[in-house]
């Protein structure tokens, strides 16, 4: 789910996710444009608990690109099956709050928090052959905290993305920092994030991405999340792009497995 949510918030995409970010930078233009994104994401993990938590996310987002800036907004629809004390936290990463022994699995669903983001792409004349983008994100607490679909706190994050193209390869690195807010019922910590990987242009229509991702935990009850991510994007034409991705967790704070599909449609 992290890839679908952060990807949509950044550019829709992934940042996935990274594949969509790459596409967005490539399509950068001085002419304003609006792109509609839609996607579905499934993940399953224990997050250090004895029981598994399965999360299904459906999402539709709009992104406006104007000059060096891009703005996006989306509200995900969440279906969660797992212990009630597993709460959807900052950036869509689950956190464990006040675990209770013997608590059974529950099913809950509903609209998630409102996510807003703004990305500034540094003009190429200032960074030589590098692609540099700075993104600010906020998640406004509009979802039900009683259902565990939100922490009930508004959080903020900033991310710096740097990449450079070498032929068909485009290695990238991302640094982020998140303030998860203060929900009142539980103390969260600020946390960093880090990603490193590369994209490769397989042909005129296909782009593949591979990365290692680290997300620092905002909760003392959950380990840091480490995972491997891979995706393939099909640039169908100037308007349509399809991205399929999968991820594998390397730590107890990450989902064991995850997969998803993203579709983008450039309206104009």
pLDDT band at 206 (very low <50, low <70, confident <90, very high): very high
Predicted TM-score of the model (pTM): 0.87
Neighbour-count burial of 108, counting CB atoms closer than 10 A to its CB (0-12 exposed, 13-18 middle, 19+ buried): middle
Q: Is a pLDDT exceeding 90 seen at residue 40? A: yes
Exposed e or buried b for every residue in 68-82, given b needs 16+ CB within 10 A? eebebebbbbbebbb
Look at residue 6 in the predicted model and tell me its pLDDT: 52
Whether the CB-CB separation of 43 and 1 falls below 8 Å is answered with yes
| Percent of the chain residues past pLDDT 90, beyond the cut | 57
Give dist(CA 162, CA 174) in Å, integer: 6
> 102 φ, ψ to 5°?
80, 0
pLDDT (tens digit, 9 = 90+) per residue, 90-129? 767 788 777 665 567 889 999 999 999 999 999 988 998 8
Could you tell me which residues are beta bridge partners of residue 231?
Answer: 209, 245
**Choice between 224 and 91, residue whose per-residue pLDDT is larger:** 224
- β strands within the chain, DSSP E: 33-45, 53-66, 69-74, 77-83, 86-88, 94-96, 105-111, 114-121, 130-140, 155-164, 169-179, 191-201, 206-215, 225-235, 240-249, 257-266
Q: Is a pLDDT exceeding 60 seen at residue 19? A: no
Look at residue 102 in the predicted model and tell me its pLDDT: 55
Give dist(CA 35, CA 65) in Å, integer: 8
**Mean pLDDT on 201-206:** 92
Whether the CB-CB separation of 267 and 46 falls below 8 Å is answered with no
Whether the CB-CB separation of 10 and 265 falls below 8 Å is answered with no
State the helix-helix crossing angle for 18-26 and 2-10, rounded to 10 degrees. Answer: 20
pLDDT (tens digit, 9 = 90+) per residue, 236-250? 998 999 999 999 999
How far are the Cα atoms of 34, 46, 49, 183 from residue 113, in angstroms, in the given order? 22, 23, 25, 14
* Domains, the chain: 2-266 (2.40.160.40)
């Amino acid at each position: 789910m992290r890839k679908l949510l952060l990807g949509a918030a950044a550019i829709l995409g992934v940042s996935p996710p990274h594949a969509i970010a790459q596409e967005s930078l490539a399509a950068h233009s001085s002419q304003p444009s609006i792109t509609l994104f839609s996607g579905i994401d499934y993940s399953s993990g224990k997050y250090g608990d004895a029981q598994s938590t399965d999360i299904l996310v459906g999402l539709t987002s709009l992104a406006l690109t104007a000059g060096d800036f891009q703005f996006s907004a989306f509200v995900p629809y969440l279906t969660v099956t797992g212990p009630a004390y597993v709460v959807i936290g900052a950036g869509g990463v689950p956190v464990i709050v006040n675990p209770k022994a013997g608590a059974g699995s529950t099913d809950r669903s509903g609209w998630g928090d409102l996510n807003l983001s703004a990305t500034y792409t540094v003009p190429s004349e200032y960074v030589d052959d590098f692609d540099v983008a700075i993104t600010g994100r906020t998640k406004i607490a509009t979802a039900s905290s009683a259902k565990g679909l939100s922490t009930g706190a508004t959080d903020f994050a900033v991310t710096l993305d740097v990449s450079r193209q070498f032929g068909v390869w485009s290695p990238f690195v991302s640094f982020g920092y998140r303030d998860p807010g203060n929900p009142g019922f539980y103390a969260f910590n600020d946390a960093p994030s880090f990603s490193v990987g590369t994209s490769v242009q397989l042909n005129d229509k296909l782009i593949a991405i591979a990365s290692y991702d680290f997300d620092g935990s905002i909760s003392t009850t959950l380990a840091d999340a480490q995972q491997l991510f891979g995706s393939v994007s099909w640039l169908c034409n100037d308007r349509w792009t399809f991205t399929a991705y999968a991820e594998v967790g390397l730590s107890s704070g990450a989902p064991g497995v995850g997969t998803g599909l993203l579709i983008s449609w450039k309206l104009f």
